[in-house]
Structure 1
Amino acid sequence: MGSIFLIRHGQASFGADDYDVLSPLGMRQAQVLGAHLADLGLHLDRCVAGSLRRQQATAHLALEAMGVADLAVETDEAFNEFDAEAVIRALLPELLPQEPDALHILRNAAHNRSEFQRLFALLIKRWHGGLHATAQTESWAAFVARVDSGLKRLLDQAGSGANIAVFTSGGTITALLHLITGISPAQAFELNWQIVNTSLSQLKFRGREVALASFNSHTHLQLLKAPELITYR
């Protein structure tokens, strides 16, 4: 059987003007991951990443730390994260009557992390429940279909017994959990909130048959006994 290693990007720049940039801590997480994979002697046959900068940067830093910087990072936008900002903009107006401080909290997310998470979870629940304010917002169903197409493309191109790294995001991993295990979107998102930056989730595959072998492993960070390396955004 082959393996697909789903790797969440390193910590991005939460609360900054541009979220889609690895923070210095996120860069360190990617390097620690790569060194750990090298210590394990893991051989990668392919490396795929979404087109987002935080995904691409994590891939390149990890491969460099593994000593395989010459391995090509293929880009597949199917593994991009859903547009959280678009979801918030689309669904926030209907939430404001019940949460009048929501706009202030979301605009100052870095200073209101716990309240931001609570509001974001409410909006995501409405999103995967099929509530959309605009036709331009990618629906949960469309997002899952996009991720599914990427997985099928990966499987159809995979050699028998291949080891493939996919550098992606928490929402994408959540969609794959839903697709592969059959758990509900609500259950999948309960797991989503636990996904650590640069954690590994392993899928085992034979042809198009796929099973979840492990989820959210972040031993590479735990071994350093530095709690600040374990982050969730």
Structure 2
Amino acid sequence: MGNLYLIRHGQASFGADDYDVLSPVGIRQSQALGEHLAQLGLRLDRCVAGNLRRQQDTARLALETLKGNGHAVPAIETDPAFNEFDADGVIRALLPGLMADEPNAGHILRNGVQNRSEFQRLFALMVQRWHAGEHEGDGLETWQAFTARVNAGLQRVLDTAGSGDNIAVFTSGGTIAALLHLVSGITPSQAFALNWQIINTSLSQLKFRGRDVALASFNSQAHVQLLKVPELITYR
């Protein structure tokens, strides 16, 4: 059987002008992941990443560290099917309908760094309404379209994989949630309940034989837990 290692990107720059940039913590997380893969002696046959900067940079830093520890590394293949859903688009589309019940939502979402727990509560509520289809058809990628995109990327990887390949997929939390939904059959609500627990640079493992895929492990954090540096365990 082959293995797909689903890796969430390192911490991005939440609250900055450009979210899609790894923070200093995100850089260290990515390097710690590479060191951990080297210690495991894991042979990677392929590496696939979405085309978002935070996904590409996490892959690059992890593989550079793995290579620096004497391991051969594959080139990074890019497939935008593994990009995150449009979180900003979800907020823009769902916020107006939320204001009647949450009159302070606009202020909270504009100042998320200062209101992290409330930001997460409101964002989770909007995501729930998004995957339930409770929004206008305003050009926003639907949950159904998102999962179809992610599934197409998964099938491309499987169709070109060797039977015993170890393949790293550098992606995002929402994409991993969609894959959990597709592979295990859990509901979107259950998938996103798990999504909120996925830490930056964690590993989730899928086993595959042909197009048959099964979940083997979820949200492994050993590479940062062993360092005993609590600030490296982040969720956004």
Question: Is the contact between residue 48 and residue 164 of structure 1 (CA under 8 Å) also seen in structure 2?
Answer: yes
Amino acid at match of 2:101: Q
In the alignment, the residues of structure 2 paired with residue 96 and residue 221 of structure 1 have an alpha-carbon distance, to the nearest angstrom, of: 39
2:119 alignment counterpart:
116
Amino acid at match of 1:148: N
In the alignment, the residues of structure 2 paired with residue 156 and residue 49 of structure 1 have an alpha-carbon distance, to the nearest angstrom, of: 17
1:27 alignment counterpart:
27
Question: Is the contact between residue 66 and residue 73 of structure 2 (CA under 8 Å) also seen in structure 1?
Answer: no
Mapping of 1:84-233 within 5 angstroms? 84-233=87-236
1:109 match: secondary structure = coil
Amino acid at match of 1:93: P
Identical aligned residues as a percent? 73
How many residue pairs get aligned? The number is: 233
Amino acid at match of 2:234: T
Amino acid at match of 1:173: I
Question: Is the contact between residue 79 and residue 150 of structure 1 (CA under 8 Å) also seen in structure 2?
Answer: yes
Amino acid at match of 1:64: E
Residue 75 of structure 1: how far off its partner (Å): 0.2
In the alignment, the residues of structure 2 paired with residue 197 and residue 74 of structure 1 have an alpha-carbon distance, to the nearest angstrom, of: 21
Amino acid at match of 1:14: F
Q: For residues 152-205 of structure 1, give each alpha carbon's deviation from its aligned partner in whole angstroms, at most 9, with x where no partner exists.
A: 010000011000000000000000000001000001110000000000000000
Q: Does 1:54 align with 2:49?
A: no
Q: Which runs of 4+ in 1 moved over 6 A?
A: none
Q: TM-score, normalised by structure 2?
A: 0.97
Residue 134 of structure 1: how far off its partner (Å): 3.5
1:82 alignment counterpart:
85
Amino acid at match of 1:141: Q
Amino acid at match of 1:63: L
Question: Is the contact between residue 49 and residue 59 of structure 1 (CA under 8 Å) also seen in structure 2?
Answer: yes
In the alignment, the residues of structure 2 paired with residue 13 and residue 194 of structure 1 have an alpha-carbon distance, to the nearest angstrom, of: 19
In the alignment, the residues of structure 2 paired with residue 69 and residue 60 of structure 1 have an alpha-carbon distance, to the nearest angstrom, of: 13
Structure 1 unaligned segments of length 5 or more: list them: none
Residue 70 of structure 1: how far off its partner (Å): 5.6
In the alignment, the residues of structure 1 paired with residue 138 and residue 98 of structure 2 have an alpha-carbon distance, to the nearest angstrom, of: 18
In the alignment, the residues of structure 1 paired with residue 135 and residue 164 of structure 2 have an alpha-carbon distance, to the nearest angstrom, of: 41
2:136 match: secondary structure = coil
RMSD after superposition? 0.9
2:34 match: secondary structure = helix
Q: TM-score, normalised by structure 1?
A: 0.98
Residue 135 of structure 1: how far off its partner (Å): 3.0
Amino acid at match of 2:43: H
Structure 2 unaligned segments of length 5 or more: list them: none
